[in-house]
Amino acid sequence: MDLILYGSPLSPFVRKVRACMLEKGLDCELDPVSPFDPPDGWRKLSPLGRIPVLRDLAVGKEGPDGTLADSSAICVYLERLQPEPRLYPADPFAHARSVWYEEYADTELAVRIGFGIWRTVVVGPLNGQEPDWDTAEATVREKLPRSFAYLEEQFAADTPYLTGTEPGIGDIAVTAQLIGLRHAGFGIDAAAYPRLAVWLERMLSRPSFTSLIAEDRERLGSHSRL
């Protein structure tokens, strides 16, 4: 096996990369590195101290040689390494638009869901802390509607995915974040956001995500409400 992915499997950014790999039929070894307790020399592989990091053993076996930090950079590399199925549209505008949705997921959604919900009612209890439902519910009530409304507007009536007839990197990145929301017991109001709700169920039913969700449930146990 030539690819090693370093990072916690419950991270949405690790989940994004793994989903891309599964969509492309690529195998990797998962090394569960935590950014809160990283191994010695981690900053040489990840200058920002974050996860995930990918190592391609065909390029380098030791130190920073053969490694890529940042999930977006890794996904671009995977696209070049295994071009089919394509996760970045061929059309220039659709390609750029898909990258924008990925960025939106990795920043806007990651901050709102990660800090407002995931850490307060899932990660905290996993570490023996009391869940902070007040913060989570306030996030769902006050902060996420703007994000959901924006995403609802992005779906054309005749396209099942954000940028066309096949799922792309934008779809994968947004789904990877929304899975954390679902694990915490929150969902998408189908009456308020019908296209977003249908799209999410479509993405969650893909084999790449069903397998990752099954792994998550096993790791989270009773802490998962998905």
Between the alpha carbon of residue 136 and those of residues 48, 185, 223, the distances in Å are: 27, 10, 15
Q: How far apart are CA 185 and CA 122, in angstroms?
A: 10
Per-residue pLDDT of the chain (226 residues; tens, 9 = 90+): 699 999 999 999 999 999 999 999 999 999 999 998 999 999 999 999 999 999 999 999 999 999 999 999 999 999 999 999 999 999 999 999 999 999 999 999 999 999 999 999 998 999 899 999 999 999 999 999 999 999 999 998 788 999 999 999 999 999 999 999 999 999 999 999 999 999 999 999 999 999 999 999 999 998 888 7
Q: Decide: helix, strand or coil at residue 54.
A: strand
CB atoms within 10 A of CB 201: 11
pLDDT at 156: 84
| Residues in Cβ contact with 155 at an 8 Å cutoff, skipping those fewer than 6 apart | 162, 195, 196, 199
Phi and psi based region of residue 221 (left: phi greater than 0; alpha: psi -120 to 50; beta: remaining): left
Q: How far apart are CA 98 and CA 87, in angstroms?
A: 9
Q: How far apart are CA 56 and CA 60, in angstroms?
A: 6
Asked if 12 and 177 touch (Cβ cutoff 8 Å), the reply is yes
pLDDT at 1: 66
Domains assigned to the chain: 3-81 (3.40.30.10), 92-223 (1.20.1050.10)
Q: How far apart are CA 199 and CA 168, in angstroms?
A: 13
Long-range contacts of 87-93 (CB under 8 A, 24+ apart): 87/20, 87/23, 87/24, 87/167, 87/168, 87/169, 87/172, 88/168, 88/169, 89/163, 89/164, 89/168
pLDDT at 116: 97
R_g over Cα of the chain = 17
Any idea which residue has 């901050």 for tokens? 111
